[in-house]
Amino acid sequence: MSEEIEKNNVALPEPGSLVLSTSPHVQDGDSITKIMVKVLICLLPAVAASIWFFRFDAIRILVYCASFCIFAEYGWTLATRQRATVGDYSALVTGVILALNLPPGVPWWICAVGSIFAIIIVKELFGGLGQNPFNPAAAARVALLVGFAGPMTQWAAPAAGSLISGATPLGAIQAAKGSAEAIAHLGAPDNLMNLFFGNVGGSIGETSALAILIGGLGLMAFRLIKWQIPLAMLVTIFVFTGIVHMAAPGLTPNPIYHVLSGGVMIGAFFMATDMVTSPITPLGALVFGALIGILTCIIRIWGAYPEGVSFSIVIANALVPLIDRMCYIRPFGWHSHSASALQIRRGEIK
Amino acid sequence: MLITILVSAGVVAAVGLFLGALIGFTAKKFEVQTDPKIEAVQELLPGANCGGCGYAGCADFASAIVTKDADPSGCSACSDAMLAKIAEVTGKAAGKKEKMTAVVFCSGSFSRSERAADYNGILDCRSASIVAGGGGKACRFGCLGYGSCARACPFGAIEIRDGLAVVHPELCRACGKCVNVCPRKLIRLVPASAQVHVYCNSLEKPAKRRKLCKIPCLACKKCIRADESHMQMQGGLVRVNYSNPPEPAFVEQVKCPTGALQVEEIHRKLEAFKPAAPAPKAAPAPKKEESK
Amino acid sequence: MNIPIKTWHFHGGVHPADGKALSNSVPAQRAPLLDRYTVAIQQNIGAPPKPVVAKGDAVKKGQLIAEPGGFVSAPVHAPTSGTVGDIVEVPGANGGAIQAIEIISDGKDEWGSGLDPIPNWKNTDREILKKRIAEAGIVGMGGAAFPTHVKLSPPPEKVIDTLILNGAECEPYLTADHRLMLERTEAVLEGAAIAAKILRVDRVFLGIEENKPDAIAALNEKAGQYGVTVVPLHVRYPQGGEKQLIYALTGRSVATGGLPMDVGCVVQNVGSCAAIRDAVVEGHPLIERYTTVTGTPVANPGTWILRLGTTVEQALTFAGGVKTRAAKVIMGGPMMGFAQTSLGVTITKNSSGVLLLQWKETAEYSSNPCIRCGRCVRACPMKLLPGPVSVMVESENYDEAEKNYVMDCMECGVCTYVCPAKRPLVQHFRRAKAEINAKRRAAKAKQA
């Protein structure tokens, strides 16, 4: 027998050299880094659209945000003497998404403040990746909007094509409020096409619904996001604004206008679906998406701010643990008469 | 303009004063009467909430001392001076208590033990012991070295050095948390006055022990034979008699062949132990000359 | 039978790389007789058997060497004729060391079990058949090692109407049951018929995954004669898990904390069925089994008929040794098997496979945080929340983990397989279960 082994030239494993772990002993090969890279690939259409419409401004903001985010995370892990985590690309993803949420005219220090806020205060102070309750990019956008309203509302025209009246589509609603005619004019098919392709003012990444949709479909194809969230969010916004538009045509434009304008598309596909800050149960994801939709509509139609997506996402993030608890799925084989499970949960028996 | 400021300031000040008075009044009126002694005793206790006394934290123990006559020496983290102070406050004499310390009965650091496997999993002793006996070391009675005891200790008295848990007796308050956590039951509370211990827990066949670790107790009983009043067998393990522990000089005298019997200070340093040179073989008795 | 049977799909599951092509087309080979076998004494769940032979005793093949230690126990028999050696310690598959009886072979390999064949089992009393199964030491050979005679004796208040044969073999790399069903088709079916007679059931389903078309065809030819319905099942791990199998074939879900007999079913592995047939018809107790020795480092992967007491080292030499460096040696399959540290582990009644993995194929666990991606939730066949529960276990919050049904986890490993953060989820759950059980025991002791 041993001659056969020598023929094969490899000895049987030596004691002490084998790996010991619990089962399972194989994995499917995916990793956090690979997921982040796929998300970046799905962001490329939106990035390309932003550069197409806003030229150098877009490149400038993207580079600043990405760099500041990466340096902020690296600096933090260095200062707190932890293993460097920038290698998992999550800081880069946050940087890109934050950049896509900023108006084209922002100075460099807005990018810096936003990035540092997103990475250090919203993410690292809570414990790093996986522990943050709030979406870093959304929370940073909210903080910047509230703290630096001036620079954050300077809108520039896109480099190509014509502008609709009013600096951004949502700003245009405020301008046209009260007049059913003006609102209807906003919702005209020409304008909707502009909205769809991105030929409008707004943050550099949120204008082109088409680019975001391509990226969003990519996310769903790669099975990176919980599809219930964008579905629930878009359907809710559509239905809610549809009802309001039919009831009060002078108040708000038609639902297609709402879905294609502002941060709804990018919020639905790239921000609300952030894994760490969204519910983990399928039903919870639906409720979460619907909640964001309702809040967005309320803020847009009756609130002081023209845009409500970032606020809604942050509010809904705070409710995620509660949503998960309420939408919990029963284990396989749980019967209404099986005493053990439910009674333990209720504390009726130990 | 000035009037506005004054009026606003005045209103805010008035509201503040009113609310402050309200809070002060309700704090006094609805105050829960507690015995001031309980607070005084609680101040004197270490405040680590380690649970070593058996009560739910220092506040609970303080109230038990004052109201239920609990013995303050139940707090293993208290020094004698602190116990005396507590006795002053309560007016009851505190019981006498011997200072105890925890000892990890193993010498098997990573460099001294044979490796059984390359362990890949949760770096926690209790979790690792679930995986096929657990951990990377070959000896299944020894210290796993992943630090569950160190994390459990509320006083930071346990250090993991080269994969071996070592207790610092000056920091240990004998609360017993480490004893409960160790999956191999390696840690015991012993009198702090004992400075010599047998640092091995193996129940393996003695012949096999050398293959698993460089400093095993071989159960050769040389130390027991040297002085039966200081050493004894306990459940298959050679142990120091803690009611009559030996002095450090005993270790020099006995010359344990492996170094498992060791003085605590030297064991803590984890230096490579040089076994004593074997006693020279007695010369064979000269052959008796045939009687003519 | 070719009547299409309705099947149900269970929640979740995963489809890992198969690996079965390494060994599923090679016929099973009988291992040559060895000089020495170290037969583990405890090869069953329940009471440990007690040795009845002493050093130096002469034994025949199949002779009793350890008798049952209680009702829930199974005897152990000599794998060959020869002399009894010492009682030695061998490494156990679950770690630690277990006792084993050494049998030194005399080379003659003569049978002498003392059990008479019962060819006319159809007209034999059920109790006699059950007694024969108990005497033959048959246990669940799919991995559980639960004594079969106990499983075939459900309490009278549990009405059994279905016998399910588990031929799914959903674990990657393992092909022992596949080859058994292909090469000993009638033995499997006859054993099933015997079990059906003991249980007095008419409905017998054999669940088999669709990736074994040759075995399905072979079984379909003969199944009708024995009253068995062959049901091809969707290929998805863990299709062969008891609860998932029962759900797939009958649509009934076993309650949390319950057993198959609560829903009127008894599940038997096909290997146990073949062993039942050998015990009854030939009078041969359980002394050998079909085992897959496989993995890319193995020179000649395949299925072997190994006698109990063969060491893994010997099994690997039969298979030609290793041709590339192995990082892991696993008893069982890659999803639920046990990693070994020593090659002295012996083949026992429930050793379905010996699997070697290279470094690049092996899982590598890390302490990354849970990123709440939800893949584990989608994949869990028991519909639990693996990610959040593992975070509770990390914070040592076992009460919360218990409320989130961690005790219902069947440790199939699907959640850990899909986790992108490479967290050792199954280890967290095993730890939680150990802590909860310890707490329950302590509470019970306090009450007593």
Instruction: Determine, for residues C365 and B121 on separate chains, whether the beta-carbon distance falls below 8 Å.
Output: yes
Helix (H, G, I), strand (E, B) or coil at B73: helix
**Shared-domain flag, residues A172 and A314:** yes
**Shared-domain flag, residues A139 and A177:** no
Of residues A169 and B20, more confidently modeled: B20
Look up the domain containing A143 and give its range.
Answer: 32-151
Distance CA C384, CA A184 (A): 50
**Shared-domain flag, residues B56 and B121:** no
**Shared-domain flag, residues B50 and B185:** no
Which helix H or strand E contains A320, and what residues bound it? helix A320-326
Residue-wise pLDDT for B131-170, tens only, equals 876 778 888 899 999 999 999 999 899 999 989 999 999 8
**Shared-domain flag, residues B70 and B104:** no
Q: Give, in order, the Cα–Cα distances in Å from B191 to each of B100, B105, B172, B182, B214.
A: 4, 14, 12, 20, 27
CB < 8 Å to B123, chain C: 367
Residue C7's pLDDT is what? 82
**Shared-domain flag, residues A128 and A174:** no
**Shared-domain flag, residues A121 and A208:** no
Residue B51 belongs to domain with CATH number: 1.10.15.40
The interface residues of chain B toward chain A in range 93-152, judged by CB-CB distance below 8 A, are 114-121, 130-132, 136, 138
What is the mean pLDDT of the segment spanning C142-160? 91
Beta bridge partners of B189: B102
Residue A309 within a domain: yes
**Shared-domain flag, residues A134 and A80:** yes
Look up the domain containing B79 and give its range.
Answer: 36-90
Closest CA to B177 of B268, B42, B44, B76: B76
Instruction: Give the total number of structural domains in chain A.
Output: 2
Residue A15 within a domain: no
**Shared-domain flag, residues A58 and A122:** yes
**Shared-domain flag, residues B81 and B130:** no
Instruction: Give the total number of structural domains in chain B.
Output: 2
DSSP string, A128-139: STTT-SS-HHHH
Residue B285 within a domain: no
Look at residue C224 and tell me whether its pLDDT is greater than 70.
yes
Residue A17 within a domain: no
| Minimal C-alpha gap between A19 and chain B (Å) | 5
Residue C387's pLDDT is what? 94
Segments of B56-117 assigned E as strands:
100-104
Which sign, positive or negative, has the C-alpha torsion C299, C305, C307, C308? positive
CB < 8 Å to B132, chain C: 94-96, 338-341
Instruction: Determine, for residues B140 and C434 on separate chains, whether the beta-carbon distance falls below 8 Å.
Output: no
Q: Which of B113, B114, B118 should we substitute to test contact with A (largest number of A Cβ atoms within 10 Å)?
A: B118
**Shared-domain flag, residues B110 and B198:** yes
Residue B280's pLDDT is what? 53
Residue B22 within a domain: no
Look at residue C34 and tell me whether its pLDDT is greater than 90.
yes
CB < 8 Å to C96, chain A: none
CB < 8 Å to A18, chain B: 117-118
Of residues C308 and A4, more confidently modeled: C308
CB < 8 Å to B136, chain A: 20
**Shared-domain flag, residues B66 and B105:** no
**Shared-domain flag, residues A129 and A73:** yes
| Minimal C-alpha gap between A274 and chain C (Å) | 9
CB < 8 Å to C329, chain A: 13, 18
Residue B264 belongs to domain with CATH number: 3.30.70.20
CB < 8 Å to C419, chain A: 27
Polymer length of chain C: 448
| Minimal C-alpha gap between A301 and chain B (Å) | 36
Q: Which of A20, A23, A26 should we substitute to test contact with B (largest number of B Cβ atoms within 10 Å)?
A: A20
| Minimal C-alpha gap between B119 and chain A (Å) | 5
**Shared-domain flag, residues A119 and A191:** no
**Shared-domain flag, residues B61 and B187:** no
Out of C322, C337, C420, name the one closest to residue A10 (CB). C322
**Partners of chain B (3+ Cβ pairs below 8 A):** A, C
Alpha carbons within 13 A on the beta-carbon side of A176:
23
What is the mean pLDDT of the segment spanning B119-125? 92
Distance CA A116, CA A144 (A): 11
Q: With pLDDT > 70 as the criterion, what percentage of chain C qualifies?
A: 99
Distance CA A289, CA A236 (A): 8
Q: Is it true that the peptide bond before A24 is cis, omega within 30 degrees of 0?
A: yes
**Shared-domain flag, residues B263 and B138:** yes
Task: Give, for all 350 residues of chain A, the pLDDT tens digit.
Answer: 444 444 455 678 887 889 999 989 999 989 999 999 999 999 999 999 999 888 888 999 999 999 999 999 999 999 999 888 888 899 999 999 999 999 888 899 999 999 999 999 999 999 989 899 999 999 999 999 999 988 888 776 665 444 443 468 887 787 777 777 878 877 788 888 878 887 787 888 888 889 999 999 999 999 899 999 999 999 999 999 999 989 988 888 888 888 988 889 999 999 999 999 999 999 999 999 999 999 999 998 888 887 889 999 999 999 999 999 888 878 888 876 555 544 544 444 44
**Shared-domain flag, residues A169 and A284:** yes
**Partners of chain A (3+ Cβ pairs below 8 A):** B, C
Q: Which CATH class is domain C20-24+139-282?
A: alpha beta
Distance CA A31, CA C371 (A): 11
Residue C1's pLDDT is what? 43
**Shared-domain flag, residues A228 and A144:** no
Determine the residue of chain A that is closest to B131 in CA distance: A22
Out of B127, B132, B134, name the one closest to residue C338 (CB). B132
Residue-wise pLDDT for B254-274, tens only, equals 888 888 898 988 888 887 555
Residue A157 within a domain: no
Q: Long-range contacts of range A247-253, CB-CB < 8 Å, 24 or more positions apart?
A: A249/A180, A249/A183, A249/A184, A250/A177, A250/A178, A250/A179, A250/A180, A250/A183, A251/A177, A251/A183, A251/A301, A252/A173, A252/A183, A252/A300, A252/A301, A253/A173, A253/A183, A253/A184, A253/A186, A253/A187
Beta bridge partners of C38: C102
Q: For residue A4, what are its two tokens?
A: 């056969």
**Shared-domain flag, residues B69 and B205:** no
**Shared-domain flag, residues A182 and A319:** yes
What is the mean pLDDT of the segment spanning C382-404? 93
| Minimal C-alpha gap between A132 and chain C (Å) | 10
Residue carrying the six token digits 């599940």: C267
Residue B282 within a domain: no
Look at residue B3 and tell me whether its pLDDT is greater than 80.
yes
Distance CA C38, CA C124 (A): 35
Cα dihedral C406, C411, C413, C415, rounded to 10, equals -10
Residue A346's pLDDT is what? 47
Residue A161's pLDDT is what? 40
| Minimal C-alpha gap between B14 and chain A (Å) | 32
Q: Which of A30, A277, A280 should we substitute to test contact with C (largest number of C Cβ atoms within 10 Å)?
A: A280
Q: Long-range contacts of range B20-28, CB-CB < 8 Å, 24 or more positions apart?
A: none
What is the mean pLDDT of the segment spanning C202-207? 93
Residue C6's pLDDT is what? 78
Instruction: Determine, for residues A338 and C335 on separate chains, whether the beta-carbon distance falls below 8 Å.
Output: no
**Shared-domain flag, residues A134 and A232:** no
Q: Which of B122, B124, B212 should we substitute to test contact with C (largest number of C Cβ atoms within 10 Å)?
A: B122
Instruction: Determine, for residues A17 and B114 on separate chains, whether the beta-carbon distance falls below 8 Å.
Output: no
Determine the residue of chain B that is closest to C422 in CA distance: B121
Q: For residue B58, what are its two tokens?
A: 């220092």
| Minimal C-alpha gap between A92 and chain B (Å) | 29
Distance CA B200, CA B104 (A): 9
Residue A262 within a domain: yes
**Shared-domain flag, residues B111 and B237:** yes
Q: Which of B120, B208, B211 should we substitute to test contact with A (largest number of A Cβ atoms within 10 Å)?
A: B120
**Shared-domain flag, residues B126 and B242:** yes
What is the mean pLDDT of the segment spanning B188-195? 91
Q: DSSP assignment, residue C171?
A: S
Closest CA to A273 of A292, A260, A259: A292
The interface residues of chain A toward chain B in range 20-59, judged by CB-CB distance below 8 A, are 20-22
User: Which of A103, A132, A151 marks a domain boundary?
Assistant: A151
What is the mean pLDDT of the segment spanning B29-37? 82
Residue-wise pLDDT for C330-341, tens only, equals 999 999 999 998
Distance CA A294, CA C376 (A): 29
CB < 8 Å to C364, chain B: 120
Instruction: Determine, for residues C341 and B140 on separate chains, whether the beta-carbon distance falls below 8 Å.
Output: no
Out of C320, C385, C420, name the one closest to residue A30 (CB). C420
CB < 8 Å to B130, chain C: 427, 430-431, 434
- The structural domains of chain C, with segments of one domain joined by +, span 20-24+139-282, 375-447
**Shared-domain flag, residues B44 and B166:** no
Calculate the average pLDDT of chain B: 85
Instruction: Determine, for residues A20 and B114 on separate chains, whether the beta-carbon distance falls below 8 Å.
Output: no
| Minimal C-alpha gap between B201 and chain A (Å) | 22
CB < 8 Å to B127, chain C: 427-428, 430-431
Segments of C1-49 assigned E as strands:
29-30, 36-40
Instruction: Determine, for residues A18 and C328 on separate chains, whether the beta-carbon distance falls below 8 Å.
Output: yes
Least confident of A172-181, B271-280, C386-395: B271-280
| Minimal C-alpha gap between A7 and chain C (Å) | 9
What is the mean pLDDT of the segment spanning B177-202? 92
